[in-house]
Amino acid sequence: MKYKVTGGHPVSGRIRCNGTKNFANKAMVAALLSDQPTTLHNVPDIGDFDITKDMLKSIGTEIEYDKANRSVRIIPSSIKTSNVPMPHSGSNRIPILLISPLLHRFGEATVPLMGGCKIGARKVDFHINAIKAFGGNIEETEEGFVATKTSDLKGTHFELPFPSVGATETCLFLSVLAKGTSVINNAAIEPEIFELITMLRSMGANIFAYPGRKIRIEGVDKLRGTNMHILGDRIEGASWACLACATDGEIVVDGIRPDTLGNFLSHYQQIGGGYELLGQDSIRFYRNEPLKPTMIETDVYPGFSTDWQQPFAITLTQAEGVSIIHETVFEKRFGYLKTLKPLGVSAQITSYCLGTPSRFQNKNLEISAIITGKSELKAVDEIEVPDLRAGLAYVIAAAIADGTTMLTGIHNIERGYGNIAERCKGLSLDIERIA
Ligand code: EPU
């Protein structure tokens, strides 16, 4: 399948954000910490969610999926095995997170290797060290990971070397059912983490958050099932905002909480974007004035998210002057700028930290981008989408570019955003999904 995008016109209209994949999948895992049913609402209709559903089903979890109403009921009492089989059709970042609930329940867990976007080394050493610190044993094999425990997991004090989202989730999953008190220091505090904490509290967990990235957990013996709404995808929200600004159109985005867009909104305004809050979860985005260049450093929350940099970079191609983006979270996240050169994107990638020195300094990694605008983008016959988050950046670039561009590799987009052509019906974007 391909997307045929004919660009060169302002894109206007209205679109609803999906529930965020980066919480929906974790909420599915959290549901396994109880043996009672949990219902999740506003789940996204995307490939990555299907992958997680299949993983849960493969161990016997009963799942009632109401696609039309975007809800899923997870019945964990039917789980039969702690051995998650090798994936049949690709994987995602979830296997390592499944270890904790399975370890609590069965005393052992076997999970396959992880998939996901190739945007850096994406090591799982923090997860492994956390499992060991709580009293579990874990070994990496050629096929994945095997974890065991000889007695109940015990609460511990664990300091994350970097505020990793996934490793903070692993620590939460381990600690809520561990014996005694746990403290996670240097924890991630992304909105999705706090949604997860809200969900775990509603299941009966005792979690206390403190200033300075510290979370204390008092373990309990049992958790109950719950009902949880999946919050709107702040990455998607920022992408639609960029589409409006980059093409000089006007887009109303529904289903997104403005507070989750944090610093993005300020950077957007600074470069010449405008927005108006229309209600508690609707925002109208537009271009306010000719776009200006800027300097941005990606960071953990509340900084500018690494997942916003791709659509923002494409928007900056339409600003007059030189912009700089310094990536500090993942070490290989600028490949898409090189691939977009044929469309007329002018970007230079360098291994220097053009900003605050990061842990990637002096390692010869591609961590800073210098973008020169304004570029007149021109369509090319065909371009391949290499990863999920670059995916919408490609759609935005093709929407700016004069003429028709075919995007291939669209499974990468659909894993995180669903069928974009179908979802863009309320927008004036000329996009078709073709065989
Ligand atoms: N890291 C380690 N060791 C670990 C864990 C992480 O070195 O054990 C490093 C990573 O290599 C990376 C940094 O820590 O350099 C941050 O990684 P983090 O663990 O925070 O990322 P993640 O949990 O794998 C999630 C999202 C990403 C998002 C990041 C940062 C999911 C499924 N993925 O990844 O989203 O960019 O947090 O906010 O939640 C996406 O949605 O496409 C995506 C890549």
CA of 188 to the centre of ligand 1 (A): 10
Cβ 91 vs Cβ 113: under 8 Å:
yes
DSSP bridge partners of 116 = none
**Alpha carbon 314 to chain centroid distance?**
19
Report the distance separating Cα 98 and Cα 109, nearest Å: 8
Cβ 206 vs Cβ 218: under 8 Å:
yes
Cβ 185 vs Cβ 214: under 8 Å:
yes
CA of 35 to the centre of ligand 1 (A): 28
Supply φ then ψ for residue 359, to 5 degrees.
-70, -5
Report the distance separating Cα 63 and Cα 72, nearest Å: 7
The pLDDT value given to residue 88: 61
Report the distance separating Cα 287 and Cα 269, nearest Å: 9
CA of 166 to the centre of ligand 1 (A): 6
Nearest ligand 1 atom, CA 94:
32
Cβ 195 vs Cβ 21: under 8 Å:
no
The pLDDT value given to residue 292: 98
For atom 10 of ligand 1, which residue has the closest CA? 122
Nearest ligand 1 atom, CA 164:
20
Ligand 1 contact via 161 beta carbon (within 6 Å): no
Cis peptide before 87 (omega within 30 of 0): no
Ligand 1 contact via 120 beta carbon (within 6 Å): yes
Q: Output the six-digit token pair for 23.
A: 């919480």
CA of 92 to the centre of ligand 1 (A): 12
CA of 58 to the centre of ligand 1 (A): 25
Ligand 1 contact via 234 beta carbon (within 6 Å): no
Ligand 1 contact via 329 beta carbon (within 6 Å): yes
Pairing between β-strand 321-326 and β-strand 347-350 as defined by DSSP bridges: unpaired
> Closest by alpha carbon to 230, among 12, 99, 38, 11?
38
Ligand 1 contact via 164 beta carbon (within 6 Å): yes
Query: Given CA atoms 36, 39, 43, 45 in this order, what sign does their dihedral have?
Result: positive
Pairing between β-strand 321-326 and β-strand 227-229 as defined by DSSP bridges: unpaired
For residue 117, indicate whether it is catalytic. yes
The pLDDT value given to residue 314: 98
pLDDT along the chain (435 residues), means of 10: 97 97 97 98 95 95 97 98 80 93 98 80 92 97 94 97 98 98 98 98 98 98 98 97 98 97 98 96 98 98 96 98 97 91 96 95 95 97 85 94 96 90 96 95
Cβ 30 vs Cβ 199: under 8 Å:
yes
The one catalytic residue in 17, 117, 171, 424 is 117
The pLDDT value given to residue 89: 54
Ligand 1 contact via 208 beta carbon (within 6 Å): no
Nearest ligand 1 atom, CA 165:
20
**Residue 368 is which amino acid?**
S
What residues contact residue 87 under an 8 Å CB cut-off, 6+ apart?
51, 54, 55, 112, 115
What residues contact residue 367 under an 8 Å CB cut-off, 6+ apart?
326, 327, 328, 331, 334, 350, 351, 352, 353, 358, 360
Q: Output the six-digit token pair for 80.
A: 């039969």
For atom 28 of ligand 1, which residue has the closest CA? 307
The pLDDT value given to residue 389: 66
Pairing between β-strand 295-297 and β-strand 321-326 as defined by DSSP bridges: parallel
Ligand 1 contact via 104 beta carbon (within 6 Å): no
Nearest ligand 1 atom, CA 92:
32
Cβ 136 vs Cβ 102: under 8 Å:
no
Supply φ then ψ for residue 434, to 5 degrees.
-125, 155
Report the distance separating Cα 412 and Cα 432, nearest Å: 16
CA of 122 to the centre of ligand 1 (A): 7
The pLDDT value given to residue 313: 98
Residue 347, CB-side half-sphere exposure with 13 Å CA sphere: 31
Q: Output the six-digit token pair for 422.
A: 């179908």
**Domains (range + CATH), the chain:** 2-18+232-434 (3.65.10.10), 21-229 (3.65.10.10)
**Residue 321 is which amino acid?**
G
Give the predicted TM-score (pTM) of the model.
0.96
Torsion of the alpha carbons at 139, 145, 149 and 154, rounded to the nearest 10:
90
Cβ 46 vs Cβ 418: under 8 Å:
yes
Nearest ligand 1 atom, CA 305:
38
> Closest by alpha carbon to 225, among 382, 62, 16?
62
Q: Output the six-digit token pair for 310.
A: 């791709």
The pLDDT value given to residue 204: 98
